[in-house]
Structures are given as C-alpha cells and as structure tokens.
Homo-oligomer: A and B are copies of this chain.
Amino acid sequence: MGKIGDFSFDSEPPLRELLEAYKAAGFQASVLGDGLGLFRKIQEEKASGCRVFLSFTANMVASGLRGIFADMLKRRLVDAVITTGGSLDHDMIRAYDGYELGAFAADDGELHREGINRIGNIFVPTKHYELLEEKMKPVFEALHARGPIVSPSEIADEMGKTLSDEGSFLHWAHKNNIPVFSPGITDSAIGLQTYFFKQKKGCADFGIDVTKDMGRLAQIALDAEKTAGIVLGGGISKHHLIGVNLLRGGLDYALYVSTSEGWEGSLSGAPPSEAVSWGKIRESGRYVNIRGDATVVLPLLHYGAGGEKND
C-alpha cells in the first residue's frame, strides 16, 4: 500500500526512474513495477542457488525479443528454457537471414502469392524455410550418427552448436550449457523436416523420444533449493514450466506476462493463483501477472532491472 503518485518528470527521465514511478501509478503500471521488483529478486536469488526457468512462445523469437533471450542466456540469468519448436525454427533462420516488419492489416492472399508468411505484423519469406531445410540437414545427420533416437534438448543443443550469431539464443544455450526443452517439437518446421529426413535412405530409424527430456528437466527442479519461473505468453511452454515444478511442491517465484484471460478456463489465461491450487506455485510463493504484450513489457523489465538490489 501507499499513495498513488502522479508521474511528474520535468524532462525525459532515465529508464530506471520512470519504472520506479510506475510502481505508484496504479493499474498495470503498478503491476509492471511490481514485476520489475520480482524480476530483480529472481536475479538475486539466482546468485544464491535458485534455479530459473524461462518459457516463451515461438512468435516472440520472430520479434526483437530474440535479442533479449540471447542476452539472458549469455548472462546466465536462466537455468533452463522451455519453448515450442517454432522458436528453434525462427532462431536458426534469423541467424542467417532477417524477417521483415510488415503490417497486421496486410492482404493475406496477396502475401501468399508473393511467398510471404505473416506472423502478426512480421513477414517471413517462404524461401527462409528452404534455408532452414539446408541448415537442418547436417544437424540431423550429426545427431543420427550418434544414435537414432534423440531428445528435443539434444536437437536444440546441436542446432546451437552450428550457430555463431551472437543474437541467437540457441548459440548461447549451447555455449553456456543451458538446456532448451521443447516438449512439442514436432509441431514446427523442424518437425516437418524430421518427416522428410526419415524418408531418406538409411534414416527411417530416426526418432525423437520426448520422454528422454522428462528426467533431465525434472532433475533441475528436484535438485534446486528454490525455483523461479519467467513465463512469457501461454501454451504448452507455460504449462510445462509450471507443471514440472509440481514435483517439488511448486515455484517460489513466478512472473507471468500475458495477454490472455482465464474466463474460458484456458491454461494460457490462468493467473498465477490458479497454479497455487495445483501446487505448481507454492502457497508462500511470490508472483506477479503483468497484462500486456511481452514485446513492450520484457524490454522494460530486462533493461530496467539493472542489477541493483531491490525489495
């Protein structure tokens, strides 16, 4: 509690001071201010052994947030990433060639005829997927050479090994030995590539055993004294992050950034409190649910968190 404070800068404030003012402004500004405090707290706790899980959706890797994910892994702010197959697609393609800023209101039929795929206001040329096919071949071959059955985290690691782009989160995940889990990996362009790869001579035995990652992910949660989750968006990645923490009685810290509601009972829209009922977040846990687009919110958190102490 405290008084609502009006914004009252005379000129452009430093980012940190602006965000400090958010805390007292009410509505989502205050929630974002609280979220910043929690984001900092998670970084502090990480330094004393808390294990941090980060989940995000594939569309975010098509956006500028990819650079922040890379930075978080470069700076070892997280211990495990959980995401969808599309994130692997976009990260690899963008290590070689860029996406275009387009418009939400584009004519999709026309785009299709021009060979452009739309993700909101981001345009992805179809030819980029040919590039992905070319770049994935050696990845699959290298994996296959070591044994026919692989796990999603092994695929992600092998991809990262081939990428030298410092803006790539897979590059940093590989370099810093941070596992990237992708329990629904076949639902992606990479998934389609496995289908094509298996049709090649001598590769029909290739497979992705998703149970292989269960133990690895579970162990991170079970070994930790404390855990924290940074959950951007919803879907399978969100659920997998909070779900694995059930094994240890729940997350100690949970920061959600979401545009989705819960009035239709969806997991994507479920607030942190719902996870408390399941034991996926501890009753004693600290959590914040920021409502807004992560492309706007995460940069404020990441660059505003600085590194200073906080509540």
A interface with B by C-beta (< 8 Å): 1-9, 11-16, 18, 21-22, 24-32, 57-60, 62-68, 70-71, 84, 86, 94, 98-102, 104-106, 108-109, 111-113, 116-123, 149, 167, 183-188, 191-192, 194-195, 198, 206-215, 218, 233-236, 239-240, 243, 246-247, 259-270, 273-274, 276-279, 283, 291-297, 299-300, 302-304, 306
Interface centre among A117, A149, A297 (most CB of B within 10 A): A117
Chain B contacts of A24 at CB under 8 A? 64, 101
Residue of B nearest to A102 (CB): B1
Number of chain copies forming the complex: 4
Q: Which chain B residues border A261 with CB–CB below 8 Å?
A: 259, 261, 291
A100 and B62 alpha carbons, distance in the complex (Å): 40
Residue from A108, A213, A265, A279 whose CB has the most chain B CB atoms within 10 Å: A265
- Check A211–B183 contact: CB distance below 8 A: no
- Taking a contact as CB atoms under 8 Å apart, the answer to whether B26 and A57 are in contact is no
Contact of A27 among B11, B28, B293 (CB under 8 A): B293
A71 contacts B117, C-beta separation under 8 Å: no
| A64 interface neighbour in B21, B86, B194, Cβ under 8 Å | B21
Shortest beta-carbon contacts, A-B, top 10 = A25-B64, A6-B67, A120-B265, A184-B184, A29-B295, A207-B209, A28-B293, A26-B63, A264-B293, A111-B277
A-B contact list, 21 entries, CB within 8 Å:
A1-B102, A3-B99, A3-B101, A4-B63, A4-B94, A6-B167, A7-B71, A8-B71, A11-B303, A18-B300, A21-B64, A27-B263, A30-B101, A59-B264, A59-B265, A113-B283, A188-B243, A195-B214, A207-B207, A233-B266, A234-B268
- Given contacts A15-B13, A117-B277, A293-B28, whether A215 and B235 have CB atoms under 8 Å apart is no
In the assembled complex, which residues on chain B have CB atoms less than 8 Å from the CB atom of A184?
183-184, 187, 210, 236
- Evaluate contact between A117 and B64: CB separation under 8 angstroms: no
Cβ-closest chain B residue relative to A250:
B112
